[in-house]
Amino acid sequence: GVPATTAEQPSVDHRACGHGKIILLGEHAVVYGSHAVAAPVPLAVRAVAQDTKSGGVDMFIPRWGVEYRLHRDPAHRDSFQRSLGIIFDELQLTDRSMRIEVFPNVPRAMGLGGSAAMAVAVIRALDQHYKLGLNDEEINALAFRCEEVAHGSASGIDNTVATYGKPLLYKRAGKKGEQPMVRELHLPKRIPLVIGISGKESLTAVTVGKVRTAWQRNPALYDGIFQQIDALTLQGVDAMQQYDLERLGDLMNICHGLLNALRVSSWEVEELVQIAREHGALGAKLTGGGGGGSIVALCPQNREKVVAAIRDAGYQAMEVEIG
């Protein structure tokens, strides 16, 4: 390869991406074996790998002001390096001399799957650059290892959507080593949504940890909530396939109530949900890890009104369609 010091004009071959996502129904409960429905959003993380003569693995994420040399010894890596570091160890590239530049178009820590998308993008960039011949299954499995490090009990749903970029129904494996259940969802028509972004960063590791602590104190009570989320998620799949958006909206609202019961909502998230409902959304709920982050609202009509109202309140909003 040609040594280079800048990745400003990467060749298309060396670009690779991982998809951002929303969870429509079932987050958190999915960690405990319930079903969840997720879909990609038109936001992606891209990465590009180039050879250098620098003598190490240099990681650049200009938009986040992140720049570091990967520590060869995993024991010396900080939490940020640890997750992506697994990729280089596993692919036996830790001793190479390279520059990885990442272009994250998924906002960080907003419940939109940024960390999984980043892992997938980096793996794909390395796969292309070093012609490793990884298939999607291998890419997904490696991204899952990164997610496990990023937040201990990851269900694997984020990396799966980041890899495949398709709407899907997901259920994690019963035991370690077993395969999760992944079913692609084919919808009769695309579903119109609004994503509201609170701007309040929240780490999935933290909210997943809070739910775990609460569950440990009263497993029977929390298992009951997870079962209700499981049941409404499966009803939601049916509603999506029938294109019964009224019913889907109801289920999203109830799901949000149960997530609130799990205490993974926040002041900002509640405000966003209220704004969306008041301006005509059929359903609105937090999406992803919660504790801040983003909401998703079902808006077959009034989409512009909901977006405008969210923006007027000082938050970011975008229209997306899934299916």
Q: By the criterion CB under 6 A, which residues form the site for ligand MEV? A: 23, 27-28, 30-31, 113, 154-155, 157-158, 204, 208, 288-289
Q: How does 17-56 read in b/e, with b if 16+ C-beta sit within 10 Å?
A: bbbbbbbbbbbbbbbbebbbbbbbbebbbbbbbbebeeeb
Smaller CB separation from ligand MEV, 210 or 277: 210
Q: How far is the CB of 289 from ligand MEV (least distance, A)?
A: 4
Smaller CB separation from ligand MEV, 81 or 115: 115
Tally of CA atoms within 13 A in the half-sphere of 311 that contains its CB: 10
Q: How far is the CB of 176 from ligand MEV (least distance, A)?
A: 15
Alpha carbons 261 and 233: distance in angstroms, whole number: 17
- Coil, helix or strand at residue 94: coil
Q: How far is the CB of 197 from ligand MEV (least distance, A)?
A: 14
Smaller CB separation from ligand MEV, 10 or 111: 111
Smaller CB separation from ligand MEV, 60 or 164: 164
Q: How far is the CB of 157 from ligand MEV (least distance, A)?
A: 5
Closest residue to ligand MEV: CB criterion: 155
Q: How far is the CB of 204 from ligand MEV (least distance, A)?
A: 5
Nearest to 28 by CA among 181, 158, 168, 208: 208
- Coil, helix or strand at residue 106: coil
- 10 Å CB burial of residue 101 (0-12, 13-18, 19+) is buried
The dihedral built from the CA positions of residue 259, 323, 154 and 296, taken in this order, carries a sign that is negative
Alpha carbons 323 and 315: distance in angstroms, whole number: 26
Smaller CB separation from ligand MEV, 157 or 248: 157
Smaller CB separation from ligand MEV, 97 or 260: 260
Q: How far is the CB of 255 from ligand MEV (least distance, A)?
A: 12
